[in-house]
Structure 1
Amino acid sequence: PGAADTSVTNVSCVTRVTTPGNVSLCCTWLPGPGAPEDTKYFLFYRYEAHTEECPTYSKDRRSRSTGCRFANTQIEPAGIDKLIVIHINGSSQRAAIKPFQHLFNQNAIEKVNIPRNISVSLEQNDLLATWEKPISPFHEECFEYEFYLINLKSGNKQILRISSNSFQLRVDGSSSYSSRVRANHNHICRARGVWSDWSETIAVGQNKLENSITWVLTLLCVSLSCTLLLVAVICKFSPPAQAPSQPQLQGLFALQRARTCTSSTETEVLSLAEGLPDSVLEDSVF
């Protein structure tokens, strides 16, 4: 029952193990293209004999429900191939809303958690990486991983599929690298679900050529700074050249006149002495 095109569309649900004993459930959808603006949607999930309505809805700009989140559910974290029934109905004063119902495989919609305690190091030409399995009731052998590696010197990128939680890779020791890890279930223990989000980026190594250039530039900057500092110190403590003051100029002119007069007097005395007898000259000098 219900009017055409009033049922929700594009329904997507994801579960996640939030703690070893608890599973959260999150669903999103789009309002039916024919649903009136006053339509209100309501979501219920059923797992085995348990049925529960969504406690928290997210809404669009028209205040219509477009998403739901259960922080806690009765879904078993270690359940294998069990079904989760999602039922969404609605109400409107202008039309009958057609209900929606779908069965999801528990394992197919589980989004795995991010690996924990990731460690990446570079030892000469070997890249070493280790981590712990995500929060989950399943054992380590039930997971597989993808390791995303970028050579920051060359720009080369690669994604490695790894079945264990540690590995060693031969790399160029003169380059630096960034890496991230994500996890999923493998087929050994259960059906593969949704890949986890990527971990935070971890960077290791340094580009040796770039380091050399950096050291040269740093040395040049330090040398230039020291030179400028030395010039500033010399300029600060050297007394500035001063123009002679007015009294100094007057004293200088007086001294010059005195020297001129003295020279004239000596010249007259010398001229007079040339005309006197030697005896008179001797008496005059001594």
Structure 2
Amino acid sequence: MPGTAIKNFSCVIYNVSLMNCTWHEGRDAPGDTQYFLYWQNSREEEEKECELYVKDENGRHMGCHFQNVTIKDTITYFVVNGSSKDSLIQFYDQYIDLYTIEKLPPPLNVTANCGGIQKDCIIQWQRPQISHSSKDRCFIYEVDIKHKANPEEKTKDTYITERKKNYTFQNFNKKKRYLLKIRAAGNGCLVNTAWGEWSAPVKFGNEEVISPSVLVLLLIAVATLLAAILTIFFCKRTGYWKAAFPQIPEPKNAFRVLPDTTLETECKMQSITPDTEEIILVAEVMK
């Protein structure tokens, strides 16, 4: 039935011999539709079904993972069939040159030699490892060099070279630290002409201890602090500190403290009481 075949079929080869293929279900495919992928790498080989399907949440096959894929100089045939209890499913097929879908790995053994008295750096590398071509003339390379201090800035030096596996970096500054990476693309032969993966960054040059702008700011801060300390010390030694910051006198107490007359009265009463008791006792005896 029209509209039941898969759509957006695509494949990519990576890491030399691995391949992933994916697709979307047909627009009018019933909900119970299941898909099956078959491929034939050459006319001499038999058609083989996918061995490791990628499934969605409903268990429907939506992709396939391949291992040990070999790119040959022949075209490869892919076909995706489908089955459903409710409808006939239209098949989808496509012929693909496998080298055109290969994502090239990065160049190998990337080095930067900046030794000696020369002001240049010699950048060297080896071609990417792929299964179907071992000729250096089949590749071109892009060399990208940036300052490590600001890797997001505009590229410091970009160079595209054909066939050669070395490059001379002439703008080398010994006081700078650089990041180097290289990628490859096909140049004729049966190699994908799209740019491949970047190599891991390689550092070369000398790391700056501190940038000039930061150094200037630090010097200004230190000078300001020293000036403040010397000013305070000078003012204290010469008396200007007291003149600038005079001591505030304490306020006088406007209320006078009244004498504690109650305590004095009690003391007098205590001194009189014993004499009175003696007089009373003498009077009683005389009676």
SS at match of 2:210: helix
- 2:181 touches 2:200 (CA, 8 Å); kept in 1? yes
Structure that is richer in strand per residue: 1
Identify the match of residue 107 of structure 1 among 86, 99, 112.
99
**Residue 83 of structure 1: how far off its partner (Å):** 0.4
Amino acid at match of 1:31: E
Identify the match of residue 20 of structure 2 among 22, 26, 29.
26
User: 1:156/1:66 Cα in 2 relative to 1: closer, same or farther (>3 Å)?
Assistant: same
User: 1:168/1:36 Cα in 2 relative to 1: closer, same or farther (>3 Å)?
Assistant: same
1:195 match: 195
Bigger shift: 36-45 or 9-18? 9-18
- Give the TM-score taking structure 1 as reference length: 0.63
2:144 match: 148
1:259 match: none
- 2:21 touches 2:65 (CA, 8 Å); kept in 1? yes
The reply to whether residue 132 of structure 1 matches residue 129 of structure 2 is no
- 1:109 touches 1:193 (CA, 8 Å); kept in 2? no
2:177 match: 176
- 1:145 touches 1:161 (CA, 8 Å); kept in 2? yes
- 1:132 touches 1:165 (CA, 8 Å); kept in 2? yes
Gap runs ≥5 in structure 2: 222-287
1:166 match: 166
Gap runs ≥5 in structure 1: 221-286
Bigger shift: 190-199 or 139-148? 190-199
Task: Render the CA deviation track for 1:143-201: whole Å, top value 9, x for unaligned.
Answer: 111222223456221542222211112124033222221222211x3353443222212
Task: Render the CA deviation track for 1:197-255: whole Å, top value 9, x for unaligned.
Answer: 222122223454726788997xx9xxxxxxxxxxxxxxxxxxxxxxxxxxxxxxxxxxx
The alignment-based identity, stated in percent, is 27
**Residue 99 of structure 1: how far off its partner (Å):** 0.8
2:50 match: 54
User: 1:33/1:147 Cα in 2 relative to 1: closer, same or farther (>3 Å)?
Assistant: farther
Task: Render the CA deviation track for 1:13-50: whole Å, top value 9, x for unaligned.
Answer: 223573xxxx4432121222222332221111112222
Task: Render the CA deviation track for 1:53-86: whole Å, top value 9, x for unaligned.
Answer: 110111223322221122024x4x4x33x20111
The reply to whether residue 119 of structure 1 matches residue 118 of structure 2 is no
2:8 match: 10
1:36 match: 30
- Give the TM-score taking structure 2 as reference length: 0.63
Q: Counterparts of 1:64 and 1:135 in 2: how far apart (Å)? A: 35
CA RMSD of aligned residues (A): 3.1
Bigger shift: 102-111 or 190-199? 190-199
Return structure 1 stretches of 4+ with deviation > 6 angstroms.
212-217
